[in-house]
Amino acid sequence: MKIKILHLYPDLLNLYGDRGNIECMRKRLMWRGIDAEVVTYTCEDSGFDLSDVDIVFIGGGSDREQKIVCHRLLEHKDEIRNYVEDNGVLVAVCGGYQLLGDYYQTDEGRMEGLHLVKLHTEQKPGRLISNIVLKSDLFDMPVVGFENHGGRTDIGDNQPFGKVLYGSGNDGESGYEGIVYKHVIGTYLHGPLLPKNPQVCDWLIEKALERKYGEEIKLQPLDDQEEKEANAYIVNRFVK
């Protein structure tokens, strides 16, 4: 078995070392004897082919970088939409997450999004910066991470990624964080999202394998003792 991972625009969307998430997917595949091929498209690349891609990763960035990336992404809007509607796995973090929706309105102007999911983001005064803990219906373990965003995201009736147990989440008010749409996860959780949350990583891998090989996949469990202890430490530290 083999999985192809595409890292989109790591030259610009790379806050907090979001790239570590790619390494995490690669390792967890490798430890199970599954081949992983990682390809990257930077803003300089002209080609764009999702036909044999199994997982797409888009990281986070400042408003300035997001604006540059937004134009590139819009050039490939139809390919990305077809991929998502065909159950392609996509994980988008913070700036990348905001660009999945209809728009991101900042004080400087409006960035048009990919319109993949019915959501929109507006910048408001003050940044939401904090550790964050979620309870997601998709996983037994709480999801832990770190958020830093000026945008507030309204996800309408979409399924959130999780309920906020600590931190701000989508807008600091709704009590929810991120979205799940088909096999897309959009989230404000930055940096080592997947190393900190192995169940999230395995969900992405499982969905990608099922889509590619057309059968239900039960991934071989790995020894996640250290990850579980680190996760529990954060939950105990912030959730009373």
Residue in the block written with tokens 């202890």 = 229
Task: Choose which of 23, 37, 63, 210 interacts with ligand GLN (CB under 6 A).
Answer: 63
Cβ–Cβ < 8 Å for 162, 136: yes
State in angstroms the smallest separation of the CB of 96 from ligand GLN.
7
Our answer to whether residue 76 is catalytic in this structure is no
What DSSP letter does each residue of 115-163 carry, written as one string?
A: -SSS-EEEEEEEEEEEEEEEE-TT-SSPEEEEEEEEEEEE-TTSBPSEE
Cβ–Cβ < 8 Å for 68, 111: no
Q: Find the catalytic residue in 70, 94, 149, 201.
A: 94
Q: How many CB atoms lie within 10 A of CB 62?
A: 12
Nearer CB in complex with ligand GLN: 63/224: 63
Q: Which amino acid is at 203?
A: W
Calculate the alpha carbon distances from 234 to 141, 145, 165, 196 in Å: 12, 9, 12, 10
State in angstroms the smallest separation of the CB of 81 from ligand GLN.
22
- According to DSSP, the β-strands at 55-58 and 184-187 are unpaired
Distance of CA 133 to the CA centre of its chain: 16
Residue nearest to ligand GLN (CB): 60
Which positions from 161 through 200 interact with ligand GLN, judged by CB under 6 A? none
Task: Choose which of 9, 55, 57, 66 interacts with ligand GLN (CB under 6 A).
Answer: 66
Nearer CB in complex with ligand GLN: 13/180: 13
- According to DSSP, the β-strands at 184-187 and 89-93 are parallel
Nearer CB in complex with ligand GLN: 61/101: 61
Our answer to whether residue 94 is catalytic in this structure is yes
State in angstroms the smallest separation of the CB of 180 from ligand GLN.
19
How many positions of this chain bind ligand GLN (CB under 6 A)? 12
State in angstroms the smallest separation of the CB of 125 from ligand GLN.
12
Which positions from 137 through 156 interact with ligand GLN, judged by CB under 6 A? 148-151
Nearer CB in complex with ligand GLN: 150/169: 150
State in angstroms the smallest separation of the CB of 61 from ligand GLN.
5
The H-assigned helical ranges of the chain are 20-30, 63-75, 77-85, 95-98, 193-196, 198-213, 225-238
Task: Choose which of 5, 22, 36, 95 interacts with ligand GLN (CB under 6 A).
Answer: 95
Which positions from 43 through 62 interact with ligand GLN, judged by CB under 6 A? 60-62
List beta partners, residue 152. Answer: 122
Summarize as ranges the residues that interact with ligand GLN (CB under 6 A): 15, 60-63, 66, 94-95, 148-151
- The catalytic site residues sit at 94, 190
